[in-house]
Amino acid sequence: MDAEPYCVCLITTPTADKAAEIARVLVEERLAACVNIVPQVRSIYRWQGRIEDEAEALMVVKTARARFAALQQRVHGLHPYTTPEVIALPLVAGAEKYLRWLGAETAPALDEAG
């Protein structure tokens, strides 16, 4: 089965609780099939001219590429950061049964589709 229609998104949040809150919405709304939460990562980055060194949580989100724009928009509405990290990485391969499940879980709901 072709993995090309799917992607993995990385999203950082200030806390694991905020990540779980966002993850639940994404899965409930079928914008993501699954979200893994790494409760603590250390992020070092430049922001507004300063080097920041912060503890954050990392969301690893599995979704369909066709759902990425809606996912990104939803995250921006839920996220406390003014510029949240929401990036997508292409899937190049995956277990056929898992990819079928991923596709089924991110298919728009019937009432949403029409």
Could you give the percent of the chain with pLDDT greater than 70? Answer: 95
Q: What is the mean pLDDT of residues 26-42?
A: 98
Answer yes or no: is 32 within a domain: yes
Answer yes or no: is 29 within a domain: yes
Answer yes or no: is 47 within a domain: yes
Of 73 and 107, more confident:
73
Domain that holds residue 103: 6-113
Contact call for residues 3 and 46 (beta carbons, < 8 A) = no
- Report pLDDT digits (tens) over 46-67: 999 999 999 999 999 999 999 9
Of 3 and 113, more confident:
3
Distance of alpha carbon 28 from alpha carbon 42, whole angstroms: 28
Number of Cβ atoms within 10 Å of the Cβ of 63: 26
Answer yes or no: is 18 within a domain: yes
pLDDT at 112: 55
Q: Please state the length of the chain.
A: 114
Answer yes or no: is 99 within a domain: yes
Number of structural domains found in the chain: 1
pLDDT at 1 over 90: no
- Within 11-95, residue ranges assigned H as helices are 16-28, 68-78
CATH code at 92? 3.30.70.120
Strands (E), 24-76: 34-47, 50-64
Answer yes or no: is 1 within a domain: no
CA neighbor of 70 nearest in space, from 104, 32, 43, 102? 32
Answer yes or no: is 44 within a domain: yes
